[in-house]
Amino acid sequence: LAKFFRTTYGPTGVFNAKPFEGSQSWAGARPEFRAIAYDSSGIAAHMGLLRRFIKIDGADLLVAELGLYGIRRDLEGLGISSSFRAVLPVLQELGVPFGFGTVRPALQKHVARLGRGGLLVVKSGIRVRSTLRTALLDKPPTRIDDALVIVVPVGRPISDWPAGAMIDRNGAEL
């Protein structure tokens, strides 16, 4: 898995592949569940999830954070919606009201296609605070991103997702 992530994330920047040096197969918080797709060429796709409480403008909300998305380069354009569909039964089994994740604004067109199918909702204009993976004396302990927020309604309708301009992950990004 570590090699898969280095290969998948490396083209987006050396910094993005760095957390997967050696044999580490997660970058921030360790996933509770992984969906891994294989084909005759090896690992084809990956998605991790982690149950956690996030705060939206100070209000606690249980979610399953979805992260560590990865699609092998030769399969791009074919897989992330299948990954979301594959983990939906797991989210239902875990009894969470929502799946939650973030992606870079550069992926807006890509994730917007997923929202058209009704599987998820993409929200913008929300800041997301995360704890840094490594504590550094010369840096603050948290990072704030202007990311696209992905919400997957699981146990409750999207209308129950709290309005708010700041999400605190209460930990490191998955």
Q: Give the confidence band of 115 by pLDDT, cuts at 50, 70, 90.
A: low
Q: Is residue 174 domain-resident?
A: no
Q: Does residue 98 carry a pLDDT above 90?
A: yes
Q: Is residue 39 domain-resident?
A: yes
Q: What pLDDT is stored for residue 117 in this prediction?
A: 66
Q: Is residue 27 domain-resident?
A: yes
CATH number for 59? 3.40.630.30
Structural domain containing residue 7 = 1-168
Residue ranges in the chain assigned as alpha helix (H)? 2-9, 14-17, 80-94, 108-116
Q: What pLDDT is stored for residue 151 in this prediction?
A: 93
Q: Give the confidence band of 80 by pLDDT, cuts at 50, 70, 90.
A: low
Q: How many domains does the chain have?
A: 1
Q: Is residue 173 domain-resident?
A: no
Q: Is residue 133 domain-resident?
A: yes
Q: Give the confidence band of 142 by pLDDT, cuts at 50, 70, 90.
A: confident
Q: What pLDDT is stored for residue 64 in this prediction?
A: 95
pLDDT in tens, 23-69: 766 766 788 898 888 899 999 888 889 999 999 998 999 999 998 88
Give the integer Cα–Cα distance in Å for 157 and 6: 36
Q: What pLDDT is stored for residue 75 in this prediction?
A: 81
pTM for this predicted structure: 0.82
**pLDDT > 70 in the chain, percent:** 82
Q: Is residue 20 domain-resident?
A: yes
- Give the pairing of strands 166-168 and 121-131: parallel
CA dist 41 → 4, 75, 133, 134 (Å): 12, 11, 32, 34
Q: Is residue 141 domain-resident?
A: yes
Lowest mean pLDDT among 57-61, 108-112, 133-137: 108-112
Q: Give the confidence band of 82 by pLDDT, cuts at 50, 70, 90.
A: low
Q: What pLDDT is stored for residue 157 in this prediction?
A: 93
* Contacts of residue 167, Cβ cutoff 8 Å, sequence gap at least 6: 54, 55, 56, 100, 126, 127, 128, 129, 149
